[in-house]
Structure 1
Amino acid sequence: MTTLPGRPNTALLVVDVQQGVVAGAHDRDGVIANINTLVAKARAEKVPVIWVQHSDDDLPQGSPDWQYVFELVRRDTEPLVHKRYGDSFEQTDLEAVLAEHRVGRLVVTGAQTDMCIRSTLHGALVRGYDATLVTDAHTTEDLSAYGAPPPHQVIAHTNLYWRFQSAPGRQAGTVRTVEVEFAVAG
C-alpha cells in the first residue's frame, strides 16, 4: 500500500552486516542465519536483495572490519549501496536502485538496531515506502555502558514500537523470519 505510484514490488534490504559492526552483536550467529534464510528465499522468489554497507572514520571503506561477514555472500548482480549516515537513503543511490526495481515495500534486516536500522525504517516510511522489520533478523551491540538498555531490550523495544507504526497510505509492521512473505497480499 505504498504511496509511491508504479511500485508494486518488494525488496529485501540487508543493512550493515559487516565484520566490525556485528563482531560483538547480540545473537550474532542466529541473526545472520535468519538473514541467510531470507536471502535464499528472496533469491528463489526473484525478489531483489539489496545490500547496504556503511563506512565512516571508524569503519574505513576497504578495511577488514568494513567487509560483510563471511557467512553472507552477495552476488555480483545484487545492488550494493554505500552509505555514510544512519539512514540508508541519505546521500546514497538507494532510491534510484529501488525505483529501477519498482520497489515500494522494504523488508528490513541487519545492524545496528538502535542506529542504522531505526534510521532506515523511518527514512523509508517518510519517503513513501512500506517498511517491514524482521524481528529476529536485526541486532545491536551492548551499549549499556553509555546508558542504553541491554541489547535484547533494545531489540524488543524496536520490535514493539515498529509493530504499531503507520502513516497515511503506508504500512509498517513486524514479522519473524518464518513469516516473511515477499508477495503483497491482495
Structure 2
Amino acid sequence: MTTLTDRPQTALVVIDVQNGVMAEAYERDAVVANIALLVERARASHVPVVWVQHSSDELPLESEAWQYIPELTIGDGEPVVRKLYGDSFEGTDLEAVLASQGVGRLVVAGAQTDACIRSTLHGAFVRGYDATLVSDAHTTEDLSAYGAPTPDLVVAHTNLYWQYQTAPGREAGIVETAAVDFEALAPTRG
C-alpha cells in the first residue's frame, strides 16, 4: 500500500553484511543463514536484491573489513549501493535504483540493528515505502559496555516497535524468514 505511485514491486534490501560489521555480531551464523535463504528465495521469485555497503574509518573503502562476508555472493547485475551514513537513502543512489525497478515495498535484513537497519527502515517509511523487517535476519554487536542494551534486547526491541509502526498509506511490520513469501510479492508479469 505504498504511497509511491506506479511502484508495485518489492525488493530485498541487504544492509552492511560486511566482514568488519559481522565479526562480533550477535547470532551471526543464524542471521547469515537466514539472509542467504532470503536472497536465494528472492532470486528464485525474480524479486530484486539490492545490496548496501557502508564505508567509514572502521570500514575503509576496498579494505577486507569493508568487503561483504564470503557466505553471501552478490549476483551479476544486482545493484550495490555504497553509503556513508546510517540511512541507506542518505547521500546514495538507492532511491534511483529502487525507482528504476518500480519498487515501493522493501523487505529489509542485515546489520546493525540499532544503527543502519533502524535508520534505513525509518528513511524508507518517511519516503513513502512500505517497509518490512525480517525479524530473525538482522543483528548487531554487543555495545552494552557503552550503556546500550545487550544485543538480544536490541533485536527484540526493534522487532517489537517496528511491528507497530503506522503512517497514512504505508505499511510496516515484521516477518520471520520462514514466512517471507516472495512469490506473493513477486513482480507482476504482463
TM over 0.5: yes
**Residue 19 of structure 2 is aligned to residue 19 of structure 1:** yes
Residue deviations 1:44-97, cap 9 Å, x none? 000000000000122101000000000000012100000000000000000000
C-alpha RMSD over aligned residues:
0.9
**Structure 1 segments unaligned to the other structure (5+ residues):** none
Which position in structure 1 is the counterpart of 2:136?
136
Quote the Cα distance in structure 2 between the aligned partners of 1:150 and 1:70. 26
TM-score of the pair, normalised by structure 2: 0.96
Correspondence list, 1:33-72, <5 A: 33-72=33-72
Q: What is the one-letter code of the residue matched to 1:171?
A: E
TM-score of the pair, normalised by structure 1: 0.98
Quote the Cα distance in structure 1 between the aligned partners of 2:143 and 2:16. 17
Q: What is the one-letter code of the residue matched to 2:78?
A: E
Quote the Cα distance in structure 1 between the aligned partners of 2:20 and 2:62. 12
Residue deviations 1:75-120, cap 9 Å, x none? 1210000000000000000000000110000000000000000000
- The share of aligned pairs that are identical, in percent, is 70
Report how far residue 10 of structure 1 moved: 0.2
Which position in structure 1 is the counterpart of 2:80?
80
Quote the Cα distance in structure 1 between the aligned partners of 2:162 and 2:174. 7
SS for the counterpart of 1:99 is: helix
Quote the Cα distance in structure 2 between the aligned partners of 1:184 and 1:97. 18
Residue deviations 1:15-63, cap 9 Å, x none? 0000000100000000000000000000000000000000012210100
Report how far residue 184 of structure 1 moved: 4.2
Count matched residues.
Answer: 185
Which position in structure 1 is the counterpart of 2:102?
102
**Structure 2 segments unaligned to the other structure (5+ residues):** none
Quote the Cα distance in structure 1 between the aligned partners of 2:174 and 2:35. 15
